[in-house]
Amino acid sequence: MMVLQAKGDKAVTLSFGKILKPFFRLSADAFPELAAERYGQHEDMDRTWQQFEPVARSLVGGFQAALDDCRFEVLVPRLNLVESEFRGIAYEGAGMGLMLLDSLGPWKKRLKAFISGPGAPYDWLLYIGAGLVLPRVPTRPERFLAQLDPFLRWFVMDGYGFYEGFFHGRRSLEEHVIPSRVSGYGCRAFDHGLGRSIWFSTGANVERIVATIGSFAETRQADLWGGIGLACAYAAGVVDREAIKALRTASGPYSPHLAAGAAVAATFRMQTGGVAVHTDLACEVLCGLSSEMVAHIADLARENLPTDGAEPAYEIWRQRLAAQFVERSETEYQRKEIKS
């Protein structure tokens, strides 16, 4: 009976995924079109999106792989075929697919099993992927978050913010609206993801980033800059040293939050066993240290975190990271750059 049930589950899962794909269309080709709708057509954005393309395709590929066949013995080899620089993005896409399957077919908990199993090294990114789907499913965010790791669960809301900013940017970026389903600290984690979406939708253009973030209330700008820092250091090597320096200068008093975002990206990279050249460059410029050292600082900052109280442990961690870099003055950065 158990064998028959397993075969039945397999058949239902495979057909279920194929049925879902036409209703949840996700195309990498549409990403630059969405950005152009918001900021217009610019030559620099066309160039940047040529470099963003592998990121978009890895995300979409991971999503489709999970819907095609979510059995771990099939899914993991497919994800691991993606080159190391973009493999984490593919796992993020798989998190989207598994979350979607779980939400519409809740008799199995594929995402949680994957995170505790073969997807463990990519747990942060799988949480973000789950958040990218959360706005499209009937699951209540607070109920879903309550089931997850207390520290990592805020990355789900980061993914939620990215989705709303990139795919529904008019409300989130122009009208500055946070969905009514998002509450409490989730609003701040939402803004981290919204900041990441600004990085992509502006084509990583410093002037457009500054103008967009500057239109938000000051109380939200630190979290938005934190999202920019993560995207700059993790997603793709689309900017050079001078552009990152300009970004750091433009962030003004929020540069420690920009650096904290880069530290989160460095943690992602080190946990999955690889250091990308652009992550190292971003950490060097934004944090004054190599990505390996920044990730080490981020790990130390997680020690002895209090349990969630008025502020989640995750927020206290981010505050500790920002404090590590607020003391690094512009003069110190310049001195390091002169020596190099």
Tell me how far apart the alpha carbons of residues 46 and 65 are, in angstroms, rounded to a whole number: 28
Contact criterion met (CB below 8 Å) for 213 and 147: no
Contact criterion met (CB below 8 Å) for 128 and 160: no
Residue 282, pLDDT above cutoff 70:
yes
The pTM (predicted TM-score) of the whole model is 0.88
At 21, the pLDDT band (50, 70, 90 cuts) reads: low
Report the mean per-residue pLDDT for the chain: 85
At 126, the pLDDT band (50, 70, 90 cuts) reads: very high
Tell me how far apart the alpha carbons of residues 213 and 198 are, in angstroms, rounded to a whole number: 8
**What is the average per-residue pLDDT within 83-90?**
91
Amino acid 329: pLDDT? 44
Contact criterion met (CB below 8 Å) for 238 and 205: no
Amino acid 23: pLDDT? 45
Tokens of residue 123, six digits: 């747990």
Amino acid 2: pLDDT? 22
Tell me how far apart the alpha carbons of residues 339 and 332 are, in angstroms, rounded to a whole number: 11
Q: How confident is the model over 160-194, as pLDDT tens digits?
A: 999 999 888 777 888 899 999 999 999 999 999 99
Least confident range of 88-92, 200-204, 234-238, 335-339: 335-339
| Residue ranges in 105-149 assigned as alpha helix (H) | 110-116, 123-133, 141-145
